[in-house]
Structure 1
Amino acid sequence: MKVSVCVPTYNHEKYIAQMLDGALMQQTDFAFEIVIGDDGSTDSAPAIIQEYAQRFPDKIRAYLHPQNLGPKEPKEFGGRNNVLFLLKACQGEYVALCEGDDYWTDPLKLQKQVDFLEKHPDFSISHHNLEVIYEDNSPSHSFNAIDQKAVSSIEDLLEDRWFVGTASLMYRNFFLTEDFASWHHRAAAGDWALVIQLAARGKIGYLPEVMGKYRKHRGGLSNVHAVTNAYFLRNRRQMFMDVDQWLGHQYKSTVEKTVQKYDRLLEEIGN
């Protein structure tokens, strides 16, 4: 299998059909699978997913968990166990991520990213621009800045700059044979933890085209992962310290500046 499309979803009845349609319309010269895990949704999303899985049994592998895999607490880790389960279930040489409330708009997205990674074996990640859309009808905008670098490295991430939209991420599937880093399960920001581990194995390539939509709404986890949340700030600070140790302090001065930034943020909110 060349590509696994990894789809974690929870209570996305309003969005999941659009996400699956965006994956199923992909035009490729290789085989791909859609690995979707519903995390015990209480809405009609499981029924929608089941119907798609029955219509496309050769494409969709659906895990409809009867109960939420958790953890329930802390809330910053919501959905973590489902995501880790799915990442390990992906059998493709490459994995493309898209959460159940986001979707792809370019039918050649997967082909373009695979072509890039096949031509550039020293890259572990391909990502692209997204349009950020809002449930409350706030104006949409691009996820990436106009000056986003074509090639980035782990040091860019360690400077606490996030530029890899989850719905744009495709990576070489090292985790077919390797385990996640020991610090991964302690990091509330699971997307950061994943991308940092990948960036330690190769460069990050950017395609400037907008090939999907990232949806912001009240139910999204990004509302919990906020700079006013002291627990989240402390957890993020600890993640960078864990990564520094994991990398053998190769980027110690960069990490120290980032940790100091989190110290200032915690001081500003009185924690």
Structure 2
Amino acid sequence: MKVSVCVPTYNHEKYIARMLDGALMQQTTFSYEIVIGDDGSTDKAPGIIQEYARRYPERIRAYLHPHNLGPQEPREFGGRNNVLFLLKACRGEYVALCEGDDYWTDPHKLQKQVEFMDTHPDYALCHHNVRVIYEDGSPEHFFNPPDQKLTSTVEDLLEDRWFVATASLLYRNYFRTDPFADWHHQAAAGDWALVIQLAARGNIGYLPDDMGVYRKHRGGLSNIHAATNPYFLQNRKQMFLNVNRWLGGRYEKTVTATVGRYEQQLRELKQ
């Protein structure tokens, strides 16, 4: 199996068909599977997923968890256990991520990314531009700016700059055999934790093509992972400290500056 498309989803009744259609329309010269895990949804999403799995049994592996896998608290970690379960269930040489409320718009997305990764063995992951659209009608925009670097490194992430849209990520599936870092389960921002571990193994490639959509709506975790949430800021600060130790202090100066900015934000919230 060349690619596993990893799809964590919860209460995405309004969105999941669009996401699955975007994955099923992919035109590739290689085999790929869709590994979808519904985290105990209370809406009609499980039924929609079940119908897609019935129609495409050779393509879709669906895990319909009868109960939410949690953890329930703290809320910043919502959906974490489902995601970790799915990442380990992916059998492909590469894994492409797309949450159930996002979707892909380019039928050649997977082909382009795999061709890039196959010809760049020193790269651990690849991402591309996506459009950000808002449920409340705010103006849409691109996730990445026109001057986004074509090659980034783990140090760019340690400067606290996030430029990898989750729906754009395709990475080498090291985690088929390797465990996650011991600090991963303590980090509220699971996408950051994953990408940092990948970038520690190789470069980050960027394709400027607009190939997907990232939805922003009230139910999204990005509303909880906010600069006004002291718990999240403290957790993010601790993540960088943990990563610094894990990397043997090789980026001490960069991490110290990043941690200092979080300490300043925390002080300002207390005032």
In angstroms, what is the RMSD of aligned CA positions? 0.5
- 2:188 aligned counterpart, secondary structure: coil
Alpha-carbon distance in 1 for matches of 2:129, 2:7: 19
TM-superposition CA deviations, 1:184-231 (whole Å, max 9, x none): 000000000000000000000000010000000000000000000000
Alpha-carbon distance in 2 for matches of 1:142, 1:79: 26
Q: How does 1:92-131 map to 2 (within 5 A)?
A: 92-131=92-131
Q: Is the counterpart of residue 85 in structure 1 residue 85 in structure 2?
A: yes
Alpha-carbon distance in 2 for matches of 1:249, 1:106: 40
Map of 1:176 onto structure 2: 176
- 2:270 aligned counterpart, secondary structure: coil
- 1:126 aligned counterpart, secondary structure: strand
Look up the equivalent residue of 2:221 and give its one-letter code.
L
Map of 2:262 onto structure 1: 262
Alpha-carbon offset, residue 85 of structure 1: 0.2
TM-superposition CA deviations, 1:93-150 (whole Å, max 9, x none): 0000000000000000000000000000000010000000011111100000111000
Alpha-carbon distance in 1 for matches of 2:170, 2:182: 22
TM-superposition CA deviations, 1:31-58 (whole Å, max 9, x none): 0000000000000000000000000000
Map of 2:12 onto structure 1: 12
Look up the equivalent residue of 2:40 and give its one-letter code.
G
Identity of aligned residues (%): 74
Alpha-carbon distance in 2 for matches of 1:38, 1:230: 29
Map of 2:27 onto structure 1: 27
Map of 2:209 onto structure 1: 209
Map of 1:62 onto structure 2: 62
Q: Which runs of 5+ in 2 are unaligned?
A: none
Map of 1:150 onto structure 2: 150
Dislocated runs of 4+, deviation >3 Å: none
Alpha-carbon distance in 2 for matches of 1:137, 1:3: 34
Look up the equivalent residue of 1:151 and give its one-letter code.
T
Alpha-carbon distance in 1 for matches of 2:33, 2:137: 33
Alpha-carbon distance in 1 for matches of 2:43, 2:2: 32
How many residues in Structure 1 have an aligned counterpart in Structure 2? 271
TM-superposition CA deviations, 1:10-47 (whole Å, max 9, x none): 00000000000000000000000000000000000000
Q: Which runs of 5+ in 1 are unaligned?
A: none
Alpha-carbon distance in 2 for matches of 1:239, 1:134: 29
Alpha-carbon distance in 1 for matches of 2:58, 2:137: 37
Alpha-carbon distance in 1 for matches of 2:174, 2:56: 27
Map of 2:218 onto structure 1: 218
